[in-house]
Amino acid sequence: MVNIIDRRRNPKGKSLANRQRFLRRAKRQVVDAVNEASGKRKVADVAGGEKITIPTDGLHEPVFRKSAEHGVREHVLPGNKEYVVGDTIPRPPAGSGGGSQASPSGEGEDEFTFTVSRDEFLDLFFEGLELPNMAKSQVKKSDQLTQQRAGYAVSGSPSNLNVERTMRNSLSRRIALRRPKGNEIRALEEEIDRLERSGSDPERLRELIDQLRLKKERSRSIPYIDPVDIRYNRFTQVRKPVTQAVMFCLMDVSGSMSEEMKGLAKRFFMLLYLFLERRYRYVDIVFIRHTHIAQEVDEDTFFYSRETGGTLVSPALRMMSDIVAERYPVADWNIYAAQASDGDNTPADNPHTNELIRNVILPLCQHFAYIEVGLAGHSVRLPSDLWRLYEKVSHGQAPLAMRKVRTQGDIFPVFRDLFTPAELKR
């Protein structure tokens, strides 16, 4: 006897749990790999980068096995063409000679390339990071589920029955199938009654009785309401924001910023942008770039335009506070800002900047991150104007974080550092 079972509809991905465990196990290596890659590759590639090479360290499964470097063995091989007993063959170089199974002592493993999906990748990439001090909500989650009408369904609970739609379906079905109406039957019955009383036209009477019988049968076989008519209201769950946040990205594109420095700044913002897009559903992002004047720009302009000019920091800060006043009421919005600059400012502007950051911007913000970009060669440099100014403002107290970035390799660690919640920092 044989039993045939179709398992194709069984859930696939029975290995999913194992795969997740594997990823969790590999996470340190993956994060290291990403960290290293982010120093080499464009950050934009990171989002699409799905192939990771990780060393087997930590993923290697050791077993007791005999070393190929010692001892005496006798191998048996197929396909002898010319050898006779006593012939010698030079030892093939290690690693060649056909595949892992040919080697007499188990398999060797090298670095292991495997593919993670984009989602898995970004999850790992940003795991554990979050915007600090999301305070203007009761819960930390940035959204909540609510019910919303979404058309009709053929199944559901009685309380969701949609009577109107059900009756409409029933009516059209009755019309389409020509179910006799009540008054037709009543008219027939009356006529039959009349003919019976008069007894005049028996031929016609028989015909009418037949008709009546047919109609009654028909109305019995076509019910007034059929299960196929019934419709229920369908609801779906939609996410509704309960916490709103806005991130201001302020970038200095003045003449003192070299292309390389701008590159570093842009990379940082790119990472920030990916992070926000990935982790938060309702975060507005405002891009402001400034030279001696500040401009609110769209994403493309922010990342790709090459305009330049003199340096003033205060216009950018002022513009930010204006936008907040106009569009993002402080009571409802969590306000964040990240500023990237080389730290140069026109000396005359410093008092303005000081005033603005101390009394206007920082009181608005949940968190303000300042990234000072510099170049690797210029390490012996006095602290910049802006750095000293911000340092004085912060005193380590205000929601102001300051970091320096000199090479591409610094970006990811600095980013992680800025957005790792304090309780997770070691």
Residues near another protein, by CB under 8 A: 1-8, 10, 12-15, 17-25, 59-81, 83-91, 98-102, 104-106, 112-115
Name which of 99 and 199 has its Cβ closer to another protein: 99
Distance of closest approach, residue 124 Cβ to another protein, in angstroms: 14
Q: DSSP state, 359?
A: I
Distance of closest approach, residue 105 Cβ to another protein, in angstroms: 7
Name which of 112 and 152 has its Cβ closer to another protein: 112
Separation between Cα atoms, residue 320 and residue 314, nearest integer Å: 10
Distance of closest approach, residue 126 Cβ to another protein, in angstroms: 21
Distance of closest approach, residue 54 Cβ to another protein, in angstroms: 11
Distance of closest approach, residue 86 Cβ to another protein, in angstroms: 6
Name which of 74 and 298 has its Cβ closer to another protein: 74
Distance of closest approach, residue 127 Cβ to another protein, in angstroms: 16
Among the listed residues 180, 186, 183, the one whose alpha carbon sits nearest the alpha carbon of residue 222: 180
Name which of 27 and 403 has its Cβ closer to another protein: 27
Distance of closest approach, residue 183 Cβ to another protein, in angstroms: 54
Separation between Cα atoms, residue 69 and residue 322, nearest integer Å: 74
Q: Of how many residues is the chain composed?
A: 426
8 Å CB contact between 105 and 68: yes
How many other C-beta atoms can be found within 10 angstroms of the C-beta atom of residue 104?
11
8 Å CB contact between 296 and 327: no
3-state secondary structure of 225: coil
How many other C-beta atoms can be found within 10 angstroms of the C-beta atom of residue 367?
21
Distance of closest approach, residue 73 Cβ to another protein, in angstroms: 5
Name which of 10 and 379 has its Cβ closer to another protein: 10
Distance of closest approach, residue 121 Cβ to another protein, in angstroms: 14
| CA distance readout (Å), 17 to 10, 20, 24 | 16, 5, 10
Distance of closest approach, residue 217 Cβ to another protein, in angstroms: 41
3-state secondary structure of 104: coil
Angle between helices 16-40 and 408-419 (to 10 degrees): 130
In the beta sheet, which residues pair with residue 114? 52
Find where tokens 């990342």 sit: 303
Name which of 89 and 422 has its Cβ closer to another protein: 89
Name which of 66 and 141 has its Cβ closer to another protein: 66
Q: Which two tokens stand for residue 131?
A: 């915007």
Q: Which two tokens stand for residue 44?
A: 């934009």
Rg, Å, the chain Cα set:
38
Name which of 73 and 395 has its Cβ closer to another protein: 73
Give me the phi and psi of 287, to 5 degrees please. Answer: -100, 125
Q: Which two tokens stand for residue 33?
A: 């790999």
8 Å CB contact between 360 and 320: no
Name which of 40 and 81 has its Cβ closer to another protein: 81
Give me the phi and psi of 18, to 5 degrees please. Answer: -65, -35
The CB-side HSE value for 411 (13 A sphere, CA atoms) comes to 28
Name which of 1 and 331 has its Cβ closer to another protein: 1
